[in-house]
Structure 1
Amino acid sequence: MRRKEISIQKGENVLLDGPSKLEVLTGEIEIYGKILKRGENVIVRKDKRVAIIPHVSSTLRITSGRFFLTEDEVIPSNWVKTCERVSELRRGESALIIGKADSGKSTLAIYLINKLLEKKERIFFLEGDIGQPEIWVPTTISGIFLERGVIDLEGYFPSFMEFVGDITPRKVYRRNIRLITFLNKCGKEEAPVIINSDGWIRNGGLEHKIKLARQMNPQFIISFLSERLNSDFKEIGRVIEVNRPKYIKRRGMKERKERRKRKYWKAFSSAVLDTIEIKDLKIELAEIGREIKYEKVRKVFERDKLRGILCGLYGEGKCIGVGRIIEMNEGSITLSVNYIKKEKIEGMVLGNIIIDSEFNEWRVSWEDKIV
């Protein structure tokens, strides 16, 4: 395993691509607003890039990964100014981040969280990107209370979760807006909220974001979009326009699919196998948004070979986990389950995504199958 020690001065920034391990041997550095001092370390996962800013002369040990030095600005100046404005957020208030894919939304969210935690005891982060979530499983949105700074939210366990049922809001946009608004309300009761959104902007995506913003009524709308596209948002809240950093990596469709595959594997490779009786079980279709009889669903499941379809599991009136259906029998359903809280399953919402035995994903439309 390749290791290298480097010395950097204030004004010399480092961009590090994972997978890698970074150790601070001397000095003090900052990564997206989080301070790391001598003796501290961080793991940079595959497909992630971090920007390292030394506060003083520092020595770093880098294990694996690729890095390069730059004197260019790695945190845009308007990000710093945005933090100053958003720092006035109080409990009961929120800031919504919008922008195209690969614009830097998730990175800005982490930067804001870290800077706000310098002044606030607690922040609620709401992950609203169902296709490339930082937390939990694709097809879901989730929220987490944070009291300490973070560099990467991968692997964090959500405080709240909701199953949307797809990897894009296109066919489930009403459900998407309703559930993000609900989780925002849950978080606002206890802390200021930072909301990350998906990158769907074209072909109806902008209208979806406008409807989302109107429903949520955030104090700030932090936008990576152009001034022209931001005009409708200015009627809703205070719009702060920010720039995309030069160093943000662009990911193609293949890379995005591979990242989702890794998340599916992590969620279901060691999931609990459970069998639930269908008696008194309410079944809803995410795409259609209504309850449907079990026998009708089972008939389509067997006819169209929908083994592996993802579903949201509900108990005590809230989402308690995500399941992958293995079998639908006459009186029971067998599925692998990743619970966030073990409760009796009282309801199930079927989504539009199938995960096969190799954790590859396939999309299915219930609208074409259920009449």
Structure 2
Amino acid sequence: MSEAEVQEKKLNEDTELRIVVNEGEAIVELVDGRAEIFGSELVKNKKYLFQKGSRIAIFTYEGATVDVVGSGVHSYTSDETPMVIYLNTHAALEQIRKVAECDPSHRGPRIMLVGPTDVGKSTVCRILCNYSVRMGRSPILVDLDVGQGEISVPGTMGAIFINKMADIMEGFDCSRPLVFNFGATTPSENLPLYDLLVKELAEVINQRCAVNRDSNIGGIIINTCGWVHGDGYQCLVSAAEAFEVESVVVIDHERLYNDLKRDLPSFVKILHQPKSGGTETRSKEMRAAMRSERIHRYFYGTASSRLNPYTFEVNFSDVLLAKIGAEQLPESCLPFGAKIDDHNTKVVGVKPSSSLIHCLLAISPSTSISQNVLKETVLGFVVVNQVNDEAQTLTILSPQQELPSKVLIVTSIKFVDDRTIE
């Protein structure tokens, strides 16, 4: 990149430089003042590389000068930003933490971010987590958005225990996540299972807070799905109850704000906040591409932090394949007096077949196919690249050299492994 491509951007206090990398890559460097990206502070004179498709916002409370290098970069400065509102939200959470720090009978804040898709919920969660870490806190970030899978892969919900700021380019350290497999990208695929897993995750988090003082003080910051109507709304209400939240931030949806004020207990504080002007609506195709990219990143890493997955064969006889959800039996087929089980949460075995090609499989720690598979956190994920009926083998793409367990849960998520990191 030549010197002619360098754009010097001078930012006044409380302003934001919004950057979209349309082509190629962009290099960003803070040359004067102080600035941050989604709550993570930029190091002066350090070059940050962003790939095609990146959307970032550089904010400064005091004023700053930033150099941007890249030919396919669109950028503009805005002084209409909700960052001060997010800072005030953080300050309110910090007051709750101080009370919990002085009195062990109290707990830290529990806040849930809600709103439709593409309003910046996950970004606000990242900002609030980063701000709390900058105060020496260790919050728990919970992600209930199975559509994108910020903590693991799409089709999962989970949590990470945060004790350091998110890396500017890589995000939070997700090397030791707590992950439950849902197996689809929208709660509507299996509402009973989604509700069960939310409650299970909340129970695990509550147990963690009960025995770990830092986690209890740091509190819980919860990201949610963008499905806010009908059954999706009920999922939000159920999640608020399961995690015993006392604050809900509604981003850019007045009706949702009013509905939650009506339906949640009076002690829950409901806040209505604007979305950032830098957020953009993503098409279905773009969201699908982002899910594929997220899975690719799980196996191969990124350009700055590469991973080398393994491809190997396993015999049909060496694995136990299961899926969650069975056909519903009519009452006429049941013995007299028998109770109908919830077929949505029934764990059943499946036989290897060509339908598994490109399927994402969750690795269960279970040693056999049973209902225990439902409530256990998963060990990781693999993808079936090939099925050889004649040789009775599966060709597996895996982060590990061998499978840590023989029980594999089939999901509805597909990933075509046809790329490598450029």
* 1:68 alignment partner, SS class: strand
Which residue is equivalent to 1:272?
A: 310
Q: Does 1:256 align with 2:287?
A: yes
Q: Does 1:354 align with 2:406?
A: no
Which residue is equivalent to 1:6?
A: 9
Q: Does 1:166 align with 2:166?
A: no
Q: Deviations over 1:261-312 (max 9, x none)?
A: 2223333465323426646836232573222234xx33xx34xx34112221
Q: Distance in 2 between matches of 1:293 and 1:33?
A: 45
Q: Tell me, yes or no, if the aligned pair for 1:24 and 1:37 is still in contact at 8 Å.
A: yes
Q: Tell me, yes or no, if the aligned pair for 1:284 and 1:291 is still in contact at 8 Å.
A: yes
* 1:112 alignment partner, SS class: helix
Q: Distance in 1 between matches of 2:92 and 2:388?
A: 53
Q: Distance in 2 between matches of 1:290 and 1:313?
A: 17
More helix by share: 2
Q: Which runs of 5+ in 2 are unaligned?
A: 101-106, 301-307, 327-343, 367-375
* 1:5 alignment partner, SS class: strand
* 1:149 alignment partner, SS class: coil
Instruction: Say what the alpha-carbon RMSD is for the aligned residues.
Output: 3.0
Q: Tell me, yes or no, if the aligned pair for 2:15 and 2:80 is still in contact at 8 Å.
A: no
Q: Shift of residue 52 of structure 1?
A: 2.1
Q: Deviations over 1:289-337 (max 9, x none)?
A: 222234xx33xx34xx341122211126531111222327597644222
User: Which stretch has the larger CA shift, 210-219 or 51-60?
Assistant: 51-60
Q: Does 1:200 align with 2:200?
A: no
More strand by share: 1
Q: Distance in 2 between matches of 1:228 and 1:175?
A: 28
Q: Percent identity?
A: 17
Equivalenced residues, count = 351
Q: Distance in 2 between matches of 1:184 and 1:246?
A: 33
Q: Does 1:289 align with 2:345?
A: yes
Q: Does 1:52 align with 2:58?
A: yes
Distance 1:232 1:250, change over 3 A: same
* 2:274 alignment partner, SS class: coil
* 1:166 alignment partner, SS class: coil
Counterparts of 1:30-179 in structure 2, within 5 Å, are 30-64=36-70, 65-70=73-78, 72-87=79-94, 88-89=96-97, 94-150=110-166, 151=168, 153=171, 156-179=174-197
Q: Deviations over 1:61-105 (max 9, x none)?
A: 2122321122x2322543233222222255675322111001110
Q: Normalised by the size of structure 2, how large is the TM-score? A: 0.73
Structure whose alpha-carbon radius of gyration is higher: 2
User: Which stretch has the larger CA shift, 330-339 or 255-264?
Assistant: 330-339
Q: Shift of residue 233 of structure 1?
A: 4.6
Distance 1:221 1:187, change over 3 A: same
Q: Which runs of 5+ in 1 are unaligned?
A: 360-371
Partner AA of 2:357 in structure 1: R
Q: Tell me, yes or no, if the aligned pair for 1:276 and 1:345 is still in contact at 8 Å.
A: no
Q: Does 1:336 align with 2:336?
A: no
Distance 1:207 1:328, change over 3 A: farther
Distance 1:121 1:83, change over 3 A: closer
Q: Shift of residue 44 of structure 1?
A: 3.9
Distance 1:240 1:55, change over 3 A: closer
Which residue is equivalent to 1:235?
A: 265
Q: Shift of residue 5 of structure 1?
A: 2.7
Q: Distance in 2 between matches of 1:338 and 1:286?
A: 27
Partner AA of 2:382 in structure 1: G
Q: Distance in 2 between matches of 1:357 and 1:48?
A: 22
